[in-house]
Amino acid sequence: MLYSPAVGARFKSGRAMTSTRDAVLEALKAAGRATVNQLAEKVGVKAVTVRHHLNVLLADGLVAIEERRQPVGRPIHVYYLTEKAENLFPQRYRALVERLLDQLKGQLPPEVFRQIIADLAMAIARDLQKELENLPPHERRERLIEVLAQEGFMAEWRHNGDTIELVEYHCPYYHVGQRHPEVCQIDETLIRIVVGTDVEKDKCLLTGDQVCTFVLADEENTVS
């Protein structure tokens, strides 16, 4: 991949992209769909140069192509950005989420705000409940790791003496959680619902620990 570290960094920092390939990406973003000749005119380079960069972008999964038939003559190829390419452009989800939470927290009683956060986890877990209801404990734990990974967590199970702990090395809500620690309820509620037992939070990234750890309730602390 050519873009995630470099182009992504330039976009996210708000600096304009500078390379020809970057310019092709920007031109496609603005046009929506465009031919090689249209892009060449927009970027100010030869068509053969644009075609070279498009081939690289196609290989990286950042650009897709469609064939558009003409009333006469050969079909033309039209290029457009894929959803993957959208991640290269500035994203302000974190700022938006923080502002939304600021507004909710400022207008709602604390217990209502906390319930809203808990309901988010419930919504994530709701579709899994039927799938998990007949699974033995160890399979539920394995499925939880998959669910957490889909939500952006990096986690694994660890046996610590006679107890079983869930260890989270990365939390996708960490930065939002610094301002709104209530979001910690999301993974805690999700863990409790998926595993089917109470959990106790033992360590937390937000309080300076290297990881977040959740210890399963006594009745679940068996290697099954």
Per-residue tokens: 14: 């708000």
Strands (E), the chain: 63-68, 76-81, 154-160, 163-170, 199-203, 212-216
DSSP secondary structure of 102-113: HHHHHHS-HHHH
Q: Is the pTM of this model over 0.85?
A: no
In a structure prediction context, what are the per-residue pLDDT tens digits for the chain, which is 224 residues long? Answer: 333 334 444 444 343 445 899 999 999 999 999 999 999 999 999 999 999 999 999 999 999 999 988 888 888 999 999 989 988 888 788 889 999 999 999 999 999 998 998 888 888 878 777 778 788 888 889 989 998 998 899 999 999 888 899 999 999 999 999 999 999 888 888 888 888 888 999 999 999 999 999 998 765 554 44
Which residue ranges form the domains of the chain, and what is each CATH number? 6-86 (1.10.10.10), 110-220 (3.90.1520.10)
